[in-house]
Amino acid sequence: MKKIVLAFLGIMLTNFAFGQGSKAQSDTAIREVTIQSVEVIPAAGNIKGMLLMDKDIQYELEGAVDNMYNFKYELAEKQFKSLRRRYPNHPLPYFLMGLSQWWKIVPTNIQTLEYDDVFFAYMDSTIMKAEKLYDANEKDYEAAFFLSAANGFAGRLHSERSNWRKATIASKRSLEYLEKAKAGNGLSPEFLFGEALFNYYSIWIHENYKMLRPVLAFFPSGDKRLGIKQLRYVANNGFYTGTEAKFFLMKIYANEEGNMEAALDLVKGLVEKYPNNAYFQRFYARALFVQGHFTMAERVCLDILSKLDRRMPGYEAVSGRYASYILAYINQNKYRDFQKAKAYYQNSITFAEMSNERDSGYFVNSYLNLARIAKQERELKTAKRYYGIVLEATDKKHAANKEAKDFMKSHKKI
């Protein structure tokens, strides 16, 4: 129960700021969303001294932010450190450095521990710098923004690492400062991002997790449709949070809303802008595959494996598992090239084992399809061996489990 509650806080808040259907016409037209349509709080004073809204800083950092999302970490961090030298007492450069570490963790499905210490150090520095600003002026909404964001990110990673006490404390603080930062919503789309996530996920969790409804009674009311509108506005207008808003929107459309067309449209734009972002590229490959765009999916997957072979940053076993499975399926079912299909399925299995994800659908379905190919080629002993692995990896209610059992029953003498 605790893990689900913390996951709830993490989804809504701890990925806060900066940071897989049916057609929904109003949701796909990002350009049509205006500030008037997303119900922000009126402007809360002047923005003098706020680096978040400083256009000169944004102009200076545009290339650095793009480099970070394109996984050119060294180039991005060089500029973030330059900003830190000039603004050593402001939380922004420390947060950006922490965000860069976060995007080194993301492609591994949050599994790698290599960057944890540096990530937490930068988030702690962000909190320390923001606390000093907030203690000096409780109407410093920019400081509240960074306190919510940094505590949120820290809470998310603590929950991933099962550090429940630290995750609970950080998430609670993130919630507290989110409420205080809301007063800045009318100043900039950057401030609106946290409210957008809360509006959407507070309702989505209520709809999908009945056991959490008593907990949700202690939270403010959300508005799922408004949350999507706000995310679309931030996606179109946010400088620091624009890409993160698109990141969340593509996942919401694909996973929660069942609108793969909208998800595909968003991730296509992200891949065009950040062609070396392994997470975006594999999400794009999956979206193309699910939508039946096999030719393009094949092209993207081959590029993913090429970048993995070249050891490009972010291209690791998880991306290899996605790409290999999709290529195997295409070779099996489109080209009927079973030799290539078998090789790619074996690659997908190897990558799943490398990333410790033997319970993933790609792992199970790779063995299932290898069994089907072996059966079709009349290699029944091989098929039985593969089906045996499927039985071990799935529970009784799984469709693959039933198929494997049926084969075993009809081939007892093999």
Q: Is 32 part of a structural domain of the chain? A: yes
Residues 244 and 348 in one domain: no
User: In the chain, how many domains are there?
Assistant: 2
Q: What is the domain-level CATH number for residue 394? A: 1.25.40.10
Of 32 and 149, more confident? 149
| Structural domain includes residue 267 | no
Residue 404 lies in a domain: yes
Q: Are residues 34 and 138 in the same domain?
A: yes
Domain match, 289 and 234 both? no
Q: Last residue of a domain, which of 221, 238, 257?
A: 257
For the chain, state the CA radius of gyration.
Answer: 23
Q: Is residue 269 part of a domain?
A: no
Same domain, 74 and 187: yes
Q: Is residue 280 part of a domain?
A: no
DSSP string, 331-389: HHHTS--HHHHHHHHHHHHHHHHHTT-TTSHHHHHHHHHHHHHHHHTT-HHHHHHHHHH
Closest CA to 148 of 80, 197, 207: 197
How does the average pLDDT of the chain come out, rounded? 87
- Using a 10 angstrom Cβ sphere, with 0-12 exposed, 13-18 middle and 19 or more buried, the burial of residue 72 is middle
Instruction: Determine the pLDDT at residue 181.
Output: 87
Q: Is residue 265 part of a domain?
A: no
pLDDT-derived band at 212 (thresholds 50, 70, 90) equals low
Is the model more confident about 27 or about 219?
219
Q: Which domain holds residue 112?
A: 2-257
Question: From residue 190, how far is each of 1, 233, 236, 403 by CA, in Å?
Answer: 32, 10, 11, 50
Instruction: Give yes or no: residues 203 and 289 share one domain.
Output: no
Alpha carbon distances (Å) from 181 to 53, 176, 226? 15, 9, 18
Q: Report how far apart, in Å, the C-alpha atoms of 271 and of each of 74, 150, 265, 323 are.
A: 20, 27, 10, 15
Same domain, 245 and 330: no
Bigger pLDDT: 302 or 48?
A: 302
Same domain flag for 143 and 90: yes
pTM to 2 decimals? 0.87
The dihedral built from the CA positions of residue 281, 284, 289 and 293, taken in this order, carries a sign that is negative
Same domain, 233 and 332: no
Residue 241 and residue 147 share a domain: yes
* Burial letters 321-336, b for 16+ CB under 10 A, else e: bbbbbbbbbbbbeeee
Are residues 138 and 81 part of one domain?
yes
User: Is 272 a member of any domain?
Assistant: no
Q: Is residue 381 part of a domain?
A: yes
Burial class (CB in 10 A: 0-12, 13-18, 19+), 385: middle
Residues 6 or more apart in contact with residue 221 via CB below 8 angstroms = 202
Q: Could you report the per-residue pLDDT of 125-145, keeping only the tens digit for each?
A: 999 999 999 999 999 999 999
Angle, helix 91-105 to helix 116-136, in steps of 10 degrees? 150
Tell me what pLDDT residue 413 has. 82
Do 188 and 61 share a structural domain?
yes
DSSP code for 256: I
